[in-house]
């Protein structure tokens, strides 16, 4: 029995076992998490290399009933640790994880469904302190964008928001032929580890607003792009306003955000 790939669920099953093991081996235990949550295990190609890591308690969350049946049959070790449902609808704080408290750290890993990878990250950004490490495969361009430094076209909202909390590494690329069925795009693996900043140094919600407003009109100067937030008087002489969003690093966005508080 095999799971029939379903396009609308972004199912591209990894066939390349070397790549699969390499992804699992990126789990580093950063900040001593004990629980690992895999998003979208499918037929368990990645899961099989996570489960033997006895230092972690592995949970999986999968939306596809057929995949869940497959996992139940082939991975008895996952007994009681398969969460059937939509990751985007889950509350990270109330996941049915035995013995876990809402504040217990949790690593997230997966060969993400590419169509929802940005939404997965926005979900993680609701509570990054809870998630000390994220290891994932996604569309290569998106992976590159997330890891991109300021000063170029690739740098965008998710780059800034994620780089504010995480140190990010682009680790390796995977060609379409490594999957069944092959996706139309190339894939990339990244690792995000919670940085040592211990908070942004500004109001998080306002920071998100400033970053989003800046990039929503990314060709304009920030003076124009940020107008919709009503510029505080004190900010008007700040030379950062003459720049465009893609030219600012995290610290500079924090500096601007602080004008609103
Ligand atoms: N990890 C497997 C499958 C990757 S394909 C492998 O590498 O082969 C992406 C997987 O995510 C599929 O199994 C799909 O059913 C699942 N998925 C898609 N949307 C999801 C969602 N919203 N929540 C949880 N799982 C989802």
Domain residue spans of the chain: 13-194, 204-260
Question: 13-194 has which fold?
Answer: Rossmann fold (3.40.50)
CA of 112 to the centre of ligand 1 (A): 6
- pLDDT of res. 103: 77
- pLDDT of res. 101: 76
Instruction: Please give the structure tokens belonging to residue 237.
Output: 């002489």
How far apart (Å, rounded) are the C-alpha atoms in residues 256 and 160?
Answer: 14
Q: Answer whether CATH 1.10.8.100 is correct for domain 204-260.
A: yes
Residue 13 Cβ contacting ligand 1 at under 6 Å: yes
How far, CA to CA in Å, does 138 sit from each of 97, 145, 146, 224? 26, 11, 11, 33
Q: Specify whether the CB–CB gap between 35 and 12 falls below 8 A.
A: no
The stretches in the chain having pLDDT less than 70 are none
Instruction: Please give the structure tokens belonging to residue 173.
Output: 């690329």
Q: Specify whether the CB–CB gap between 230 and 210 falls below 8 A.
A: no
- pLDDT of res. 135: 98
Please name the residue whose Cα sits nearest to atom 7 of ligand 1: 14
Please report the atom of ligand 1 found closest to the CA of residue 110. 1
Sheet holding 187-194, edge to edge: 82-84, 57-62, 35-39, 106-111, 133-139, 187-194, 166-174
DSSP code for 41: -
How far apart (Å, rounded) are the C-alpha atoms in residues 159 and 182?
Answer: 27
Q: Specify whether the CB–CB gap between 112 and 42 falls below 8 A.
A: no
Say how many C-beta atoms besides its own lie within 10 A of residue 102's C-beta: 12
Residue 41 Cβ contacting ligand 1 at under 6 Å: yes
- pLDDT of res. 184: 96
Pocket probe mutation, ligand 1, options 5, 9, 120, 183, max atoms within 8 Å of Cβ: 9
Residues 6+ apart with CB under 8 A from 101: none
- pLDDT of res. 200: 94
pTM of the predicted model as reported, rounded to 2 decimal places: 0.96
Please report the atom of ligand 1 found closest to the CA of residue 64. 15
- pLDDT of res. 198: 84
CA of 99 to the centre of ligand 1 (A): 25
How far, CA to CA in Å, does 249 sit from each of 62, 91, 148, 155? 36, 30, 11, 10
């Amino acid at each position: 029995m095999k799971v029939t790939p379903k396009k609308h669920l972004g199912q591209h099953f990894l066939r390349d076992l070397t790549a699969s093991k390499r992804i699992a081996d990126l789990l580093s235990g950063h900040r001593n998490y004990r629980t690992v949550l895999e998003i979208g295990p499918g037929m368990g190609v990645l899961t099989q290399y996570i489960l033997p890591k006895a230092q972690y308690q592995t949970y999986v969350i999968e939306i596809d009933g057929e995949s869940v049946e497959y996992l139940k049959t082939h991975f008895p070790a996952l007994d009681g640790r398969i969460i059937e449902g939509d990751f985007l609808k889950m509350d990270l704080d109330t996941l049915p994880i035995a013995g876990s408290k809402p504040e217990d750290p949790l690593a997230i890993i997966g060969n993400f469904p590419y169509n929802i990878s940005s939404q997965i990250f926005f979900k993680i950004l609701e509570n990054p302190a809870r998630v000390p490490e994220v290891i994932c495969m996604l569309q290569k361009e998106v992976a590159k964008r997330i890891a991109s430094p300021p000063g170029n076209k690739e740098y965008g909202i998710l780059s800034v928001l994620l780089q504010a909390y995480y140190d990010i590494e682009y680790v390796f690329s995977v060609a379409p032929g490594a999957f069944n069925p092959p996706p139309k795009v190339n894939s990339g693996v990244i690792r995000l580890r919670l940085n040592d900043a211990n908070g942004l140094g500004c109001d998080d919600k306002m920071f998100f607003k400033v970053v989003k407003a800046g990039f929503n009109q990314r060709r304009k100067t920030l003076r124009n792009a940020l107008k919709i937030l009503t510029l505080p008087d004190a900010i008007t002489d700040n030379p950062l306003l003459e720049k465009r969003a893609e030219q600012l690093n995290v610290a500079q966005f924090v500096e601007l955000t602080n004008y609103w508080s």
